[in-house]
Structure 1
Amino acid sequence: MDFRLTDDQRALRRGVRELLARRFDREALRAAVDAPTLDRALWRELGDAGFFALRLPEEEGGVGLGLPEAVLLFEEAGRALLPGPLVATHLAAGTVPGAAEGSAVVTSVDAGLVVWRDEADVVLGDASGAVPMRSVDPLTPLHRVPGAGAAVAAGGPTAALLHAAEQVGSAERTTEAAVAYAGEREQFGQVIGGFQAVKHLCAGMLVRAELARAAVRAASVTADPVEIAGAKLLADEAAVGNARDCLQVHGGMGFTWEADVHLHLKRAWVRARLGMTAERAEEAVAASL
């Protein structure tokens, strides 16, 4: 399988990265952490750029691209720690009025949790009696639905794959952050990147991120549910493991509120428990063997 991106795919990825760098830089990220409200103007701008309507046919007002291109967009969203129910809104495009254009924000009820909620949101599933609960990730508000059992609207394999793509983007970003910090921070008269232990940490992060990225992109081509389950397992492992190792490279600095590393770890924890959890993914892969 040829994993090289086409010129159009590179241009798509570059365009989204430039948009997020301009509209959701570190200052905007920190503002969102301090006051976790969704930037509706940015949401509409994502809609104008085709983020949500990417897979809708052109005759229905969409971009007419496929799952491999959607994965590229969600990788970039994961890199930037873009908040909000991106996957639910993307999946609702063409079904819920306003979702494709970004004028409506669509949340979902997943395993008894409402992922994000605001007065103007469209909620998929029965969210009656939803009670706010504390979320480990300050950028992912959660509400518990009393009496809800299994997932109400998890979104299926496609949702799992898009969440996995976000995890891959996060894993790649924490790898870059660790390498950059290791090349700047000095101890005992030399940069810590020269120490063998730090080299091994960074090398392991790169391997995890590359393996997860290959699995996610392969699954986006085949759309096979079992391959998606395996890709989700690898992506969750990469996002959580790389964030932990990035914290290790940063040392005490990584555990401060001012550093962004902890935000990647917290978001990775939340994504790993939404939709297709490790337990469900393992069962899907085992059943196919």
Structure 2
Amino acid sequence: MDFDFSDEQLQLRDAVQRWAERGYPFERRRAIAAAGGFDAGVWRELTDLGLPGLTVPEVHGGMGLGPVEAMVVHEALGAALLLEPLAHAHLASTVLQRHASAAAQAAWLPRLAAGELVVLAHVEAQARHRWDRCHTEARHDGQGGARLYGVKHVVPAGDHAAAWLVPAVHEGTLALWWVERGAPGVRMQGYPLQDGSRGADLVLDGAPATLVTRAGEAALAWLMDAGIALLAAEAVGVMDRTLALTVQYLQTRKQFGVPIGSFQALRHRVADMKMQLELARSMAYYATLKLGAPEPQRRQALARAKVQLGQSMRYVGQQAVQLHGGIGVTDEYLVGHCFKRLTQLELTFGDTLHHLGEVAARMTDAAGVTA
């Protein structure tokens, strides 16, 4: 199997890396985090690059690219520790293409391509990473429409979104709905998250909603798996940056008159970090390539990928902080922010223990071992 990227994919990656190096340095990121965790100017710059419309079909004004290109982009932006939730724009695009009607796609996809932020709002209290545990309700409004009642938590940059994709139960069936910003019955409470990004609680008290699909379970299963694939790519980018910072520090920090990178015990720890990074990279590729598999295989593959990514993120982040010593936990130095970002990613779309349970639940009686 050929894992080499095409020339077009490499050019896309290089273009995104150039923007990140020039337009999103660490100082700008720190300022955005201090100001609340989302910057409209950055989002406009991403829109100028065409990135929110990366996976939107060309007929609707997008670039018409696929999951491998999205993986390449998110790995490059992961190294920059991007705070803005670009992944949710890609998730919204793909789920609308898979599940929305042609009329709905014609109405909504051009808005995504033009840079309107649409995010998934699915987290509820006491759900414990189970997306199918949904207490938000959709009720008939008596006029042929529906209104939503419920609360969603930790919605990425939710108070800056133009619309939200909201799972809600309608007549005993989980469905996916589109809710517009500014609709009556919508309240938002934004707050910063521990990695510097922004979250919000979305309160729906009779908010009018438009149905995306009644096949909410299938749509949410796809969103979780596609989200894990994008998260995996981003995590690889963060770990790449974390390892590079650690190697640079070991080469410059001196003790007893020599760089501490010359100490064999520390070199072994860096080698273990590199091993974990490459395990994560291979599983990130595996996750993206498995998005086209039948649902049972896809769900098992993405759970496996999230388990390995979680283990790698924890190891690389912890080792980097320890090898940096006291400077590793200061706000002025980048590696601590890398660790926070890796911690946040490990908890997103289900943590490692949750997905370890998912892997175990999908094992056959023989656990993959044949006589």
The alignment's TM-score, normalised by the length of structure 1, stands at: 0.88
Q: Which of the residues 82, 96, 113 maps onto 1:100?
A: 113
Residue 194 of structure 2 is aligned to residue 136 of structure 1: yes
Contact conserved, 2:229 with 2:302, CA < 8 A, in 1? yes
In the alignment, what sits opposite 1:268? 342
Amino acid at match of 1:170: V
Root mean square deviation, CA, Å: 2.6
C-alpha distance in structure 2 between counterparts of 1:57 and 1:109, whole Å: 24
Change (3 A) 1:235 1:220: same
C-alpha distance in structure 2 between counterparts of 1:53 and 1:278, whole Å: 31
Q: How does 1:140-219 map to 2 (within 5 A)?
A: 140-143=198-201, 155-219=223-287
The alignment's TM-score, normalised by the length of structure 2, stands at: 0.70
Deviation readout 1:100-156 (Å, 9 max, x if unpaired): 222x2223223222222325542322795655566322223343769xxxx996822
Partner SS state of residue 107, structure 1: strand
| Structure 2: 5+ residue stretches without partners | 94-104, 125-152, 168-178, 180-185, 205-216, 292-297, 364-371
Amino acid at match of 1:124: L
* Identity fraction in percent: 33
Q: How does 1:74-113 map to 2 (within 5 A)?
A: 74-93=74-93, 95=108, 98-102=111-115, 104-112=116-124, 113=153
Partner SS state of residue 123, structure 1: strand
Q: How does 1:216-231 map to 2 (within 5 A)?
A: 216-223=284-291, 224-231=298-305
C-alpha distance in structure 2 between counterparts of 1:120 and 1:65, whole Å: 23
Amino acid at match of 2:113: A
Query: Relative CO higher for 1 or 2, CA cutoff 8 Å, sep ≥ 6?
Result: 1
Residue 164 of structure 2 is aligned to residue 123 of structure 1: yes
Shift of 1:51: 1.6
The structure where strand makes up a greater share of residues is 2
Partner SS state of residue 27, structure 1: helix
126-135 vs 251-260, which moves further: 126-135
Shift of 1:172: 1.1
In the alignment, what sits opposite 2:40? 40
Contact conserved, 1:135 with 1:142, CA < 8 A, in 2? no
C-alpha distance in structure 2 between counterparts of 1:139 and 1:197, whole Å: 35
C-alpha distance in structure 2 between counterparts of 1:26 and 1:188, whole Å: 31
| Structure 1: 5+ residue stretches without partners | none
Change (3 A) 1:132 1:42: closer
Amino acid at match of 2:73: L
Q: Which structure has the larger Rg over C-alpha atoms? A: 2
C-alpha distance in structure 2 between counterparts of 1:153 and 1:133, whole Å: 25
In the alignment, what sits opposite 1:56? 56
